[in-house]
Structure 1
Amino acid sequence: MATPPAGVTGTIIYRKTIGDTDYILREITVQPGGTTGWHTHEGTLYGVIRSGTLTHEMADCTTVDTYRTGQLIVEESGAEHVHRGVNLGKTPLVLDVLYVDPKGAPLSDDAADPGCPELG
């Protein structure tokens, strides 16, 4: 069963297709207590944390990384990279993300909840 995002908004700043690849720059805001829900990507994402803190968890329930203002994050593509992002802080998390996707791919694909305990 997929887990929907909560407290997340996104604005596409730029979109360009070159050949078979979409390049999409998006600003994402995650409110305190918000989550992206479990998901995957069909392409690779490159992000930078503009403000706040991102807690990034993989579906193995043991890999949890924390990214703070100014840090970079890379999310790999494919079904073997199920993950979620959570804002455990008290201020909004804002990040800029460059999606490098196959042409026409969605920004993310919902994934089933792997049964990890709630963070925080």
Structure 2
Amino acid sequence: MRIAFRTALSGAVVAATVLAGGTAHATPPGPGVTGKVIYQTTIGDTDYTLREVTVPPGQATGWHYHDGPVYGYVKQGTLSHYHADCAVDGVYPKGTTVREPGGPSDVHLGRNLGGTTLVLEVLYILPHGAPFSEDVPNPGCPFQ
């Protein structure tokens, strides 16, 4: 557990997006996208949670943001990370880290465009009781 926690602290993953107006619907994660809590603690008003997030080939996290900073480590596969302007803002292969600052101005989507299952170790630093992510509508990108 200590190694996994340290690994997650050394990097960062998937962050946030700007809410789209109108009658658009939130974009849930693709089939088979899962998250498993490895460790969780609360200090003061802050929850620290380490999760393993798995994204099958061809799937995505759904558009979302986080209520606090998130740090991720790519344990397996490659993460393609997009922001609300539809442009890829990073491609993270195995062994790399990603940081997301959090907040509704940091809407994003993580995609697995490869043929290998994407496995991320993700550290969430969130206000006590906040969800891991806030789902939002697709900001108008031609992909989910």
* TM surpasses 0.5: yes
Matched, 1:67 2:92: yes
Structure 1 runs of 4+ with >3 Å offset? none
> Which AA in structure 2 matches 1:53?
T
Matched, 1:19 2:44: yes
Superposition RMSD on alpha carbons, in Å? 1.1
Query: As a proportion of its length, which structure holds more strand?
Result: 1
User: In the alignment, what sits opposite 2:120?
Assistant: 95
TM-score, with length taken from structure 2: 0.80
Residues 18-72 of structure 1 show CA distances to partners (whole Å, capped at 9, x for unaligned) of: 0010000000110001110000100100110001000000001124310000101
Q: Does the aligned pair in 1 maintain the 2:74–2:120 contact within 8 Å?
A: yes
Secondary structure at 1:4's aligned position in 2? Answer: coil
Task: Tell me the equivalent position of 1:58.
Answer: 83
SS in 1 for 2:91: strand
1:70–1:100: structure 2 CA closer, same or farther, 3 Å change rule? same
Q: Secondary structure at the match of 2:98?
A: strand
The number of residue pairs the alignment matches comes to 119
Structure 2 CA distance for aligned equivalents of residues 28 and 38 of structure 1: 15
Gapped runs of 5+ residues in structure 1? none
Q: Which amino acid aligns with 2:91?
A: T
